[in-house]
Each structure stands twice: as structure tokens, then as C-alpha cells.
Amino acid sequence: MAAPGCPRFPPVEAVARGVLPRHYAAGVRGDTWAVFRGCDERRVVITASPAVMVAEFVREFLGAEVAGTELETVSIAGEKRFTGRIEHVLVGERKKEVVQRLFSSGDMPDVGLGDRESDHDFMAICKEAYMVPPDRRAPRAAADTLLSQTIFHDGRLVRRPDPAHAFFALAYLPVGFFLALFRVFFNLLIPVQFVRHTYRLTGINLVVRGTPPPAPRIGCPRGSLFVCNHRTALDPIIISIALGRPVTCVTYSVSRLSTAISPIRAASLTRDRKADAARMAALLEEGDVVVCPEGTTCREPFLLRFSALFAELTDRIVPVAVDAHQSTYYGSTARGCKWLDPYFFYMNPRPGYKVTFLPPLRSPQETCCSAGGNRSAVDVANHVQRVIAKELGFQCTALTRKDKYMKLAGNDGTIVDNNNKPANANNKSL
């Protein structure tokens, strides 16, 4: 349930905002976009697709107005709901009528673009007309040439859901589910130092690079703080497997099922900065700790802003760059059932992870806790973010968890539990 005062998108609008734009953007042809963006004064997209599904993409990525097919709606308990039936389909003569209505106060459009025979009617009233021949191999527009880039998106399907990919995702779903159960529970029985090898036997590709620091010595248990970017909820577990020893991860909320079957210790935080700092400092005295300062997952090649809390706790900071390979299903979600995230990751035919242990921050100039350290915690957090981004080839941003949830769900990522206490909607580390 969304927190009081937080807006919430209806499911259809949430899909249109958070799921479809990435797939639409991947299908924009380069030659067509070159012509379309050359029209500076006014751009209009007339489509037979439901307007509610394409409007967000057209406005944000193409900088255009949109007129599309209207879906039938009904009012239930004061809320508008879509029935799934079509009211008006924009094809043939109707597209021409819409163009004439939109441009009734001035000249007809300078350029008309179409890709089917039914588009000839409205293209005939344009000063110039271009027919786009169907060609699946035509070069697509580069992501950075569109007016916006996809940073946040939701939905479980990795590939564009054309008929072939959608059929495979649905047909493979039951097989993948049982395969995921096997991968999860079989590897739970294996000592952590051997899981790297059993992963290979169960079709999981784990690549480990770099040299991590050794485990804390007996009598001197003070551990290292492994700071990683956040791709899925499995990041801390994968780092533990890559190290070959148990670690502790810190999270704001996690499902009871995930806690019960987690092979590593998960410590809950409260979002009280002083209390969380004391909790993490105590955990570091006991051993190694993994923290994901982005606070939420990001699927695209971007890094969200790093929280600076970790930099205030220790000078034994080890940056870790992680990247997950998912070919069919995403192991993360903003609106779906989060306890299923690990299972969706393991449902992929050949899931993979690449973990790179980067050199620890050693010099006083790189930390703010060591003697002689003269950097602020924010500077240290930004430095670690840049180091990880450089290793992965990702781009740093100043976006946060709140930005992600406002984009995808229309709230700030906070839920209210049964005791009316705020809790994080995302079971991720900070």
C-alpha cells in the first residue's frame, strides 16, 4: 500500500510509463527518426495503437503529440477502468480526418510518414510523403539520439515482446520455474566455498575478477566493507560466493521467506541515520559486510547516486563492480512481487554474473576515516561511484531510489505496514 500523500499510477498507466517505452525505443528506425526529428515546428504521431499505451513514449522520447485508438472505459468506485474493448480505431480515412482536424487552423503537414497501404489517405494531404518499407534488418536509432534515454523501467521481459520472444517466454515459464527451484535449493546445501563450481554444473555462469582482501584474522575480526553497485537482490549473495566465505549484508526490508532461505546473514536497518551507522559499525567489528549504496536496483548501464553513509564508518572500503546477465526474465521489479525476484533471475536459461573486486581505498586522500583523511563522506561516495562506473563502462547519475519509484510507480518507494510505520518498498541495501 502506498504511503499517505503519495500518488499512485493505475496499472495501465504504470505499464505505459515504466515498461513499454524501453521496448518502443528499441524499435525506432534510424532513417525514419532522422526525417521525423527534422520537423522542428510540430510533430504528431497518428497510430492505431491505444493512445494511453504510446503517449508517454511519444511525448518523452520523440517530442511529439499523439492521437491513437481509444479504449472503452467504465467507472468503478469512482475510478476509471479499461474494459479492453476498442471504441475508435484510427485507420485509413479516420487517420486523414484526425490530421485535418489537428491542422485545421493552418497549412497541412509538411512531411507525412507511413508504413502501410492504409496510410496513403492521410499522406496524400501532406506536402511531402515518405513510405517506410518494412525491413526488420534496418538499422535502429541509437539510444542517445532520441530525446530521452531509458534509465528506469519495469516488467519481467528482457527482450522486446515480439511474437517469437513472447511465445518462448510463456512456453518456457513452467520449465524455468522448476529449474529455478532446483538451482536455489540445490546450491543452498553446498558449502559456500564450493558454490562457484556447482553454479557451473547448474548452468549459472559466474565470472570473478580481481583479488579480494583476505578474511579477517582470528583475534582481529574487524572486517572489510564491500561496496557494490546494485543489479539484483542477489548481489550480496553472489559476492559471498565469489569470496568463498560468509558475509553480512544490510537491507532496509526483506521478505521473511528470503530471510529464511538466504545463505548469508541479512541485517535490517531502520533509516535512522545514527542507529544505522552504529548497527553497521558493530557488524564490521564482527566480520565482512556488503552494502549497496544506490539503495535500489538499476537495470540499465547507469549508476544511481551513492549514499555517503558507508564512507563514514571505516577506511577498509573495497569497491566491487557487479553486472548480471539476464536473457529472458528480469530478476528485479518495482511493482511486482519482490520475493520472486531471485527466482526470476534463476529462471533464465543461462543466467550469469560478473564480479570484479577493485583495489581497496588505501591512501588517506581516498577516505575520510583514516588518519590524515581530508575528504568528505560525499566525496568518497562519489569517488567509489566513479571507480565502479569506469570498470563497468556505465554512466554516473545523481538519480535516487525516490526518482525511480516516482517514475515507475508514482510514489516515493515507501509503504505503510500494518502498524502504520513507514518501510522501504524495495528490499535493497543502502
Q: Tell me the domain boundaries of the chain.
A: 20-145, 163-424
Q: Give pLDDT, residue 176.
A: 96
Q: Give pLDDT, residue 255.
A: 64
Alpha-carbon distance of 104 to 195, in angstroms, equals 68
For residues 281-291, one letter each, b for 16 or more C-beta atoms within 10 angstroms of the residue's C-beta and e for the rest, the string is: eebbeebbbbb
- The answer to whether the CB of 368 falls within 8 A of the CB of 358 is no
Q: Give pLDDT, residue 379.
A: 92
Collapse the DSSP code of 217 into the 3-class scheme (helix H, G, I; strand E, B; otherwise coil) and give the result. Answer: strand
The pLDDT tens digits along the chain (430 residues) read 344 344 456 688 888 899 999 999 999 999 999 999 988 888 999 888 888 899 999 999 999 999 888 888 888 877 778 887 887 777 767 888 888 888 877 788 889 998 888 888 888 888 889 999 888 888 999 988 999 999 999 999 999 988 999 999 999 999 999 999 999 999 988 999 999 999 999 999 999 999 998 887 766 667 899 999 999 999 999 999 999 999 999 987 666 666 767 889 888 888 788 899 999 999 999 999 999 999 899 999 999 999 999 998 888 899 999 999 999 999 999 888 888 999 999 999 999 999 999 999 976 677 887 655 678 899 999 999 999 999 999 999 999 999 999 988 777 666 444 444 444 444 443 4
CA triple 121-117-108, angle to 5 deg: 30
Q: Cell triple for residue 282? A: 558493530
Alpha-carbon distance of 378 to 311, in angstroms, equals 8
Longest pairwise C-alpha distance within the chain: 84
Q: Give pLDDT, residue 424.
A: 44
Strand partners, 354: 207, 323
* Among 113, 131, 123, 121, residue whose Cα is nearest residue 43: 113
Q: Give pLDDT, residue 19.
A: 93
DSSP designation for 193: G
* Among 319, 246, 325, 314, residue whose Cα is nearest residue 280: 314
For residue 165, give the H/E element and its range: helix 163-188
Q: Provide CATH code, domain 20-145.
A: 3.40.50.1000
Q: Give pLDDT, residue 425.
A: 42
Q: Give pLDDT, residue 364.
A: 67
Question: What's the Cα-to-Cα distance from 37 to each of 61, 65, 107, 238, rounded to whole Å?
Answer: 11, 13, 19, 44
pTM: 0.87
Please provide residue 63's backbone torsions phi and psi, each rounded to the nearest 5 degrees: 65, 45
Q: Cell triple for residue 337? A: 512481487
For residue 289, give the H/E element and its range: strand 289-291
Q: Give pLDDT, residue 288.
A: 93
Please provide residue 228's backbone torsions phi and psi, each rounded to the nearest 5 degrees: -130, 160
